[in-house]
Structure 1
């Protein structure tokens, strides 16, 4: 039986321990990504989100790029923890690369100058919703994932490697794979600190 929505979001977690076992087919992963992109809301129905999905060997190539970029900025004598962290992501099967098409954002700014300053913000908000939706959907397929941000260090090389259009702004990376370790215990603040109700 399919999980209800609130159960799915309550069970979504950050998985750092992931492996290459194929718990979902490439076709199923593609379907999940396509559905998340299609149905995630966006301001003015702009649909500015873009995704590059790298699987298997292409996933390995991506994390090799991250590793070499970090070697240039992290001192060699303290690189081991960084190397271990990147290898833990590379141990997975795939990575979702999240982008925003800034030509769409610019077009909306030109069409609706009153809201010009808001469109980049709304674009980021929509991308965040896509990240959350896809993260949850991947977990529903038995895949563990986490959200990473090595963007500034690797944008140029990533765009060159996968022929990504110049106007696509790189936002985040989501490595995923078969879960190999349980996530840590999630801590919660008292809900009263986050919610006010008036009636």
Structure 2
């Protein structure tokens, strides 16, 4: 029963935390364990296990947000870049980033093996990635981190691939900067559940 309560509490307290610091509540090794556990146990269509992750810590984390800033500076109008730069600096202020990928070779292999469902496999792949992201996010929250989910792909894909020798068949899906919370998340409003959930007995 205790574990059930812990799970519900983690689900409730997982929020988008933008103000983060480089302080780490747990070790690099524990962060690796969390991500590896999530990748291993996240559900996937046809047990495809197509999810991939790269964990960037220390200077590698900083390099990601530096190259993201460099990339965006080339495409965002100069008079609007200051707010973009401010946001990127918030992400860099954290201690790490998880990059989420899907292995397109796996997805394409399933399309060939099961042509009847070929159109569905890319959609199922995205759903599986979403579940993996959620597991990591919630687990990081349990370890004392705050995180957000970002999507600067495909703008940064080529630079990320080059910098960290990412296999060609891995497609970048999302980026999750994390660190110890420096400020709490704001209040969250909820829409009425009776408009969102229907139960028939």
**Does TM-score exceed 0.5, indicating one fold?**
yes
Q: Distance in 2 between matches of 1:23 and 1:7?
A: 18
* Unmatched segments (≥5 aa) in structure 1: none
Residue of structure 1 aligned with 2:172, choices 170, 173, 178:
170
Residue of structure 2 aligned with 1:146, choices 145, 148, 151:
148
Partner-residue secondary structure (3-state), 1:44: helix
Quote the RMSD (CA, aligned, Å): 1.0
Residue of structure 2 aligned with 1:5, choices 4, 7, 25:
7
Partner-residue secondary structure (3-state), 1:128: helix
How far off is 1:20 after superposition? 0.3
Q: Distance in 1 between matches of 2:130 and 2:29?
A: 24
Displacement over 6 Å in runs of 4+:
none
* Unmatched segments (≥5 aa) in structure 2: none
Residue of structure 2 aligned with 1:17, choices 13, 16, 19:
19
How far off is 1:24 after superposition? 1.1
Q: Distance in 2 between matches of 1:193 and 1:117?
A: 31
How far off is 1:44 after superposition? 0.4
Q: How does 1:1-199 map to 2 (within 5 A)?
A: 4-199=6-201
Q: Distance in 2 between matches of 1:136 and 1:40?
A: 13
Q: Distance in 2 between matches of 1:72 and 1:192?
A: 46
How far off is 1:78 after superposition? 2.2
Partner-residue secondary structure (3-state), 1:174: strand
